[in-house]
Structure 1
Amino acid sequence: MAHVAEWKKEEVLELKGLIDKYDVVGIVDLLNIPAKQLQEMRRNLKDKAVIRMSKKNLIDLALEDCNASKNNIVDLSGHMDGQVAIIATEMNPFKLYKILEDSKTSAPAKPGTIAPEDIVVPAGDTGFEPGPFLGELQQVGIPAKIDKGKIVVQKDTVVVEAGEAVPKDVAATLSRLDINPMEVGIDLKAVYEDEAVYTSDLLAIDEEQTMADLQGAIRSAFNLSINAAIPTDETISSIITLAYTRAINVGVEAAILTSETSGPIIGLAQAKMLAIASAVADKAGAIDDELAEKLSNVAVAAAPVVEEVEEEEVEEEEEEEEVSEETAAAGLGALFG
């Protein structure tokens, strides 16, 4: 049996202690991060997360040892690509991912590095005066010319496609143009919480779209609660108002006299009477002078009344929409505290 170095045993024990201590444990890739920037990132994460670099096989052993107490955590072993390290925290995985993504910075392209996406040199003034640099641009495939005493790139040009290595001459040209196409930062590969492993693609969410979806869901739930008469603290007032309005409408249509319905019933009866009178007004002697005068007054006032009613309806719709948005905001507040 091969002898196992004592330091390796101690390292596995320390890694195991770190994994057992925190509820959220992840695997990160620190490849190509300059030492100075890594130190700065660690300082920014102080009191939020702990990063521990180690050998992949030792991390594997620590994860296996912890799998009994943290079911499925050994699945993190399948995400150890690059220069790996363990990150441990009490933050939820989504917050951890966002903090790490926000801490990433742009960096120059070094020769041989793989472009994460197409590297584009934009059209426009380079700021350089006519000279040898014009030839350098043209040599790497960038169309350039002299315009108004400056070297100008004629059109947006892809100099390195996504997934390709950056050539040495292109890297030098990009550096002179102050184009930093690379992104440097701690890359979260996967994270464990409550027996589940989340990969980075699951943690990358569109916050604006998610908030919009939540607001839409809250509005739909609010309207469903009202229309289905399911009382809650947020909807009971609107349910009572809707029920009252419907009861008044039934009372008016059925001509059931109450203190609330008498006015609308009389108004409806008068409107029907005027409609009938208008239909027979052309016949001689069908209506008296008093009724004819009322019909004349109604005709004169009809247009302004219609316009006013339409305007009121628009205002009511705007008020209803505003209430809906306030309700949505209140619902979100309840969700997120």
Structure 2
Amino acid sequence: MNKVIIIGGGIAAHTAAIYTARASLQPLVLSAPEPDQLSTTNIVENWPGTPDGILGPKLTQDTKKQAQKFGAKYILAKADSFKVLKNSFEIIASGKKYAASTVIICTGASSRKLDIPREKEFWAKGVSTCATCDAPFYKNKTTVVIGGGDSAMEETLALSKFAKKIYLIHRRDEFRASKLMQDKIKKLPKDKLEIILDFIPIQILGDKSVTGIKIKNVKTNQPKEISCDGIFLAIGHIPNTDIFKSSLKLDKKGFIITNKKSETSLLGVFAAGDCQDSLFKQAITSAGVACQAALMAEKYLEGR
């Protein structure tokens, strides 16, 4: 049986793996195939010690390599179930059973969808949540970004290097993104970026692939159609915590409830990162809380 199992594949999981590995706990990391949020971020400018910024994928991979250097073992497997046993915990991941004395949950969050007509039909056929991944496919094409936070600004900036035209659509009359990010998109040429406020998407348009989007003014209900080749969603995230619903206390949005020590409602189970952070959602806070969770897991094992 493993001393520690870490569930996740992002910066929180890798940080927890570094600390538990250095404590000679030989952590097993169950990492899902889907990319973490940081791996789909173009450049991270607020990571300490990187005055010129660092690419999100590089930061993630370097942290993983560091964990592996200290002895962390990684298995590419998606956790499908979580069970509390008498003196341990059982995780079934990609059809195999794994047991551990303590568990650190770093399952992150997934991009929220629009839930409008034809969205599923055109998923990966013009509808995406990752401009960092897909922007090169839209060279000299017209794109739409939905959202008003930092993620939407990030998507817009990533697309601006390739797309000839970007429509940035937000449901409110002002953005909630940081001033720094808003200032960046304001520097884009006016013929490159068109901002549309007070509108919401109501239907994806297309044939074999996306050809446009139908939107509606939230104040007047006036509909409008925009022709485009691609649509990028940046409207928030949903925590990946479904398998813990029957075992752990979650808040009304599905985030795992933890105390100041990263402890969940279940003794021996800790959580860090986007699966428990509904407020800050920063790489640095995810790493910090994961470090704390790892140290608490070590203390828990010492006291058994």
TM more than 0.5: no
Q: Relative contact order (alpha carbons < 8 A, sep ≥ 6): 1 or 2 greater? A: 2
**Higher helix fraction: Structure 1 or Structure 2?**
1
State the TM-score, normalized to the length of structure 2.
0.25
Structure of greater Rg: 1
